[in-house]
Structure 1
Amino acid sequence: MEGYLAIVLHAHLPFVRHPEHERFLEENWLFEAITECYLPLLQRLEGWRRDNLPVRLTLSLSPTLVSMLQDSLLQARYTRHLDGLIELAGLELQRTYWDRALHELAGFYYQRLRELRELWLGVQRDLVGALARYQESGHLEIITCAATHAVLPLLQHAPSVRAQVLVARDHYQCVFGRQCRGFWLPECAYGEGVEAPLQEADFRWFIVDTHGLLGARPAPRYGVFAPVYTPEGIAVFGRDPESSRQVWSRDEGYPGDPVYRDFYRDIGFDLDLDYLRPYLPSPDQRTFTGIKYYSITGPGTDKRPYDRALAVRRAGEHAAHFLHARIEQVRRLQGVTPVPPILVAPYDAELFGHWWYEGPEFLDALVRLMAQQRTLSFITPWEYLQRHATHQVARPMPSSWGEAGYWQVWVNESNAWIWPHLRVAQNRMTQLVKKHRRPHTLVKRALQQAGRELLLAQASDWPFILRTGTSPGYARQRIKDHLLRFNTLYDQLLHGRVDPLWLEQVEQRDNLFPNLDPTYWA
């Protein structure tokens, strides 16, 4: 082999769970991702295992996502959601009977949803356990990220950074029963100081965006085609810009091809509301159903009906183009690096299937084409370090993979108000832990819940949503609710008057990380 390709899929969603409501609109974020991303990935993994293909992917599962996937309430609600979609697709078969193109697509959705339901029930609603089995078989390396996907450099509070890292480590070990070597920095956000808790937790590598590595001091001799070690001894991999551009670029990226399915044109917005109402999470609010009949088509023209067969063929063509470009890259690098170069290609897992409906077909075609050549092989970053252990020492540059490469997505006029409140809460959490060094059961429960509320308030998702404007009211309310609950717990603990009934209600609502250790904030 002349080089290696490390595809890293980062799967994350914010913790959204509302037992106080029978249906809740934002819980659909999880349900859409299961239907369009996680179950299709499981299908592909089974196909690769069945055909004995030499594939090694890295999958980052955020602790909040894992917690939701393992939650029995959300599992039951997803089953109800999937049953409703199947029923709606059945109605669409009848409604579109006289429109051949749409009728064929309705049949496609009906059959696909039934297959996904069979798989969902076949793994006994345990997606995390099913993915873990592919880690055991060698097809996946599953890694973790910060507990609630906080932008670590922006916390500016060492105990809070430590808690985000160590809670994630404990959670991973509890779920998967093994040590985790890789750590996904949320938003690929690096700042000097994150290494100390990563080192304490024994994480051995992480990824930064291209400029984060190219701007390292001293400059990396081999660019992004080999890792460096920080002075603390943790390996840093840089994102390959060409792999990124071919998938992510608005102008050059594959997902924008006109034959692919249009994400935004959904029957949830096209059809009569009374017809759709029984299948919507919020009966009076239109939203995506996942049943979409039109291709992207292009600007200035009427939308063409989606041609599924043509789109799948195009995904295969794009996979072949992608592989050819990677082979050309490693051939140009011959003799430049002392060991075979590594091309690190990190992506949001939700791109493959949700935003880019044909993304799973692209991955499947890529894996099958990779098996037919001998220039490039799949590898995980940890395997690369085991094979090639000696690398340059350098300090990465503060950076992220957000817009403009730094912090402006999470600190701007729409969300800057969050950070002063978090600063106060973070200092208060450390104060509480130091005050209650040997807490009795009720006080320990209150400390644990205060930690959960603070972690949830720190999630990067809320300032991101406020910036993009997708669900700003919900994001604003979530931050306020978590901070309000934290401050209530702070007052109760400070004055020695913990309300056990209220505490139990809050524990049942925000129920992740049952074994959380408050001393991490000390």
Structure 2
Amino acid sequence: MTAPRTTEQQPGMFALVLHSHLPWLANHGRWPVGEEWLYQSWAASYLPLTRVLRTLATEGRQNLLTLGITPVLAAMLDDPHSLSGMHHWLGNWQLRAHEAALMPDRARRELGAREHRLAAQSLAEFEQSWAHGASPVLRSLVDGGTIELLGGPLAHPFQPLLHPRLRRFELAEGLEDARMRWGTKPSGIWAPECGYTPGMEVEYAEAGITHFMVDGPSLRGDTSVGRPVRDSDVVAFGRDLQVSYRVWSPKQGYPGHAAYRDFHTYDHDTGLKPARVTGKTVDSKDKAPYDPNLAAAAVDRHVEDFVRTVVDRIRSERARTGRDALVVAAFDTELFGHWWFEGPQWLEKVLRALPEAGVRVGTLAQAREQGYVGEPVQLTDSSWGSGKDWRVWAGDQVTDLVQLNSEVVQTALDTVDKTRGSARAPGRPELRDRVNDQILREAIMTVQSDWAFMVSKDSAAGYARERAHKHAHATREIADAVATGHPDRALRLADGWNHADGLFPGLDARRLPDDVTPGR
């Protein structure tokens, strides 16, 4: 199969959307779930992705993709503790590779040499460009017109289940956090877990959001244009599953090809990954050694397959609807590099090959501005999780977390309301309250969507429950000191818990909205 190379312009547009997110991990354990998760994703996905984007930008290419960065991930990528930890992690990777390159057997020496080159390149890039965090790196890509950045609520809550006041607060604070870091306030967001319930479009409009992501089934599979939601001007763009699932789906996709590096198999002496997938039913000890040449050939075949899939989809949708079609492929950023080692190579080649095949590549903001918008849709409750409903975050396996979240949020709101009510006086400005700020910080950390997801999927469920309960305990402990008339103790506790994490210094409880009526 050969991807089409033509000067003929295809009747539509392709938009690649990547969603970058991890829960707050800094100072919450190292292995196997804590900071190691951050550093692996940083080295394998975030560094290679920005390398690809910078390379393409130097060629004059613009509007390559729409990149979502959640505020909680952005905070970690700017955090001094995380930056120091990442620098050490990269150095350790290089040392492990060096040790492997000195081992007696040839396979390990070759593995060590390859990994050493990658580690050295990553370490040099990190020291040259990332010393002050991710924000300068991302800002340069935005300012240069290379990407569109999407924002989101502060700590990635499953918004449909969140109290409307806290939902509005998290969104407004998240957008302000983005403006502070990147010098621009995003007009689009990747709604956490693509979760939606009617009324949220009104809240989006009030916050200045013009477009957001949903999963394809939310639009009944008709994703060839964005759709204004209900009576608003806020546009929902849907993930094209026919195209997106070509790359990755719950059951198949390119990364499972036999030639690609196997994610799960480790060389236990060095911590490096020496094997290729080989076969879905092949035990780790029986997997064949990784061969970069075989992997590179597979990348080329999958680039050709994907480009042809996009071209065919644009043409078929144009024939079906009678208008130029939009194709939106959307994935977790961490798929490219962390889960699928060859993903960044594939991504760079795809972004070159699509224009060669006559496909115009653009961002969601461009799609909205250039008229890839259809009739309004009466969007209903939905997500991109299992069943495309809310079961992952509200099902039987997580009823305890749903109850915990509800109780903690109500405790936080009641405490902050009471404190603010007693502090307000006519003609006097309301002063900032560090205790109230921390109560809200701990509450939003409690209700991160990741904890319910990890429990429902049985992925480090113990860690997830421990994290949710730790932040819930902090919320209650501070609130109890306030309620029992111990303001000095409340302040000491708030400062202590804030020091433990140190994120979102701009969060200001004075901006918590008073209106308790959902935006419907």
Q: Same fold (TM over 0.5)?
A: yes
- What does 1:10-159 align with in structure 2 at a 5 Å threshold? 10-18=19-27, 26-95=34-103, 97-99=104-106, 101-125=107-131, 126-155=133-162, 157-159=163-165
* CA distance in structure 1 between the partners assigned to 2:371 and 2:342 by the alignment: 35
CA contact (8 A) 1:145 1:183 kept: yes
Evaluate the alpha carbon distance shift between residue 16 and residue 10 of structure 1 in structure 2; reply closer, same or farther with a 3 A threshold: same
CA contact (8 A) 1:15 1:64 kept: yes
Q: Bigger shift: 355-364 or 399-408?
A: 399-408
Aligned mate of 2:209, from 203, 211, 228: 203
What is aligned with 1:372?
Answer: 356
- What does 1:210-225 align with in structure 2 at a 5 Å threshold? 210-214=216-220, 223-225=222-224
What is aligned with 1:428?
Answer: 411
SS across alignment from 1:315: helix
* CA distance in structure 2 between the partners assigned to 1:389 and 1:318 by the alignment: 28
Evaluate the alpha carbon distance shift between residue 496 and residue 365 of structure 1 in structure 2; reply closer, same or farther with a 3 A threshold: same
* CA distance in structure 1 between the partners assigned to 2:505 and 2:63 by the alignment: 35
**Displacement, 1:335?**
4.7
CA contact (8 A) 2:61 2:146 kept: no
CA contact (8 A) 1:146 1:184 kept: no
CA contact (8 A) 1:294 1:305 kept: yes
Aligned mate of 2:300, from 290, 297, 316: 316
Aligned mate of 1:192, from 189, 192, 198: 198
Q: For residues 176-233 of structure 1, what are the alpha-carbon distances to aligned partners after superposition, in whole Å with 9 as ceiling and x for unaligned? A: 1212110111111111122232111110011111111118xxxxxxx21011101122
Q: How many residues align?
A: 491
The answer for unaligned runs of 5 or more in structure 2 is 1-8, 515-520
SS across alignment from 2:396: coil
Q: Given residue 377 of structure 1, which amino acid in structure 2 is its aligned partner?
A: R
**Displacement, 1:391?**
3.0
SS across alignment from 1:261: coil
CA contact (8 A) 2:63 2:363 kept: no
SS across alignment from 1:192: coil
CA contact (8 A) 1:430 1:521 kept: no
* CA distance in structure 1 between the partners assigned to 2:469 and 2:232 by the alignment: 37
What is aligned with 2:341?
Answer: 357
Q: Given residue 517 of structure 1, which amino acid in structure 2 is its aligned partner?
A: D
CA contact (8 A) 1:145 1:185 kept: yes
What is aligned with 1:516?
Answer: 507
* CA distance in structure 1 between the partners assigned to 2:477 and 2:126 by the alignment: 40
Q: For residues 274-305 of structure 1, what are the alpha-carbon distances to aligned partners after superposition, in whole Å with 9 as ceiling and x for unaligned? A: xx6xxxxxxxxxxxx4x211000013472110
Evaluate the alpha carbon distance shift between residue 444 and residue 330 of structure 1 in structure 2; reply closer, same or farther with a 3 A threshold: same
Evaluate the alpha carbon distance shift between residue 504 and residue 378 of structure 1 in structure 2; reply closer, same or farther with a 3 A threshold: same
Q: For residues 103-124 of structure 1, what are the alpha-carbon distances to aligned partners after superposition, in whole Å with 9 as ceiling and x for unaligned? A: 2221000110000000000114
Q: TM-score, structure 1 length as denominator?
A: 0.90
CA contact (8 A) 1:161 1:194 kept: no
Q: Given residue 197 of structure 2, which amino acid in structure 1 is its aligned partner?
A: G
**Displacement, 1:373?**
2.6
Evaluate the alpha carbon distance shift between residue 26 and residue 73 of structure 1 in structure 2; reply closer, same or farther with a 3 A threshold: same
What is aligned with 1:280?
Answer: none
* CA distance in structure 2 between the partners assigned to 1:464 and 1:147 by the alignment: 18
SS across alignment from 2:392: coil
CA contact (8 A) 1:429 1:451 kept: yes
What is aligned with 2:15?
Answer: 6
* CA distance in structure 1 between the partners assigned to 2:248 and 2:219 by the alignment: 19
The answer for unaligned runs of 5 or more in structure 1 is 216-222, 277-288
Evaluate the alpha carbon distance shift between residue 17 and residue 346 of structure 1 in structure 2; reply closer, same or farther with a 3 A threshold: same
* CA distance in structure 2 between the partners assigned to 1:307 and 1:207 by the alignment: 37
Q: For residues 101-148 of structure 1, what are the alpha-carbon distances to aligned partners after superposition, in whole Å with 9 as ceiling and x for unaligned? A: 332221000110000000000114222311220111111111112211
**Displacement, 1:165?**
1.0
What is aligned with 2:3?
Answer: none
Evaluate the alpha carbon distance shift between residue 130 and residue 136 of structure 1 in structure 2; reply closer, same or farther with a 3 A threshold: same
CA contact (8 A) 1:123 1:130 kept: yes
What is aligned with 1:503?
Answer: 494
- What does 1:465-476 align with in structure 2 at a 5 Å threshold? 465-476=454-465
Q: TM-score, structure 2 length as denominator?
A: 0.90
State the identity %.
27
Q: Given residue 121 of structure 1, which amino acid in structure 2 is its aligned partner?
A: E
Evaluate the alpha carbon distance shift between residue 494 and residue 162 of structure 1 in structure 2; reply closer, same or farther with a 3 A threshold: same
Q: Given residue 188 of structure 1, which amino acid in structure 2 is its aligned partner?
A: C
Q: Given residue 317 of structure 1, which amino acid in structure 2 is its aligned partner?
A: R
CA contact (8 A) 1:443 1:493 kept: no
**Displacement, 1:505?**
1.4
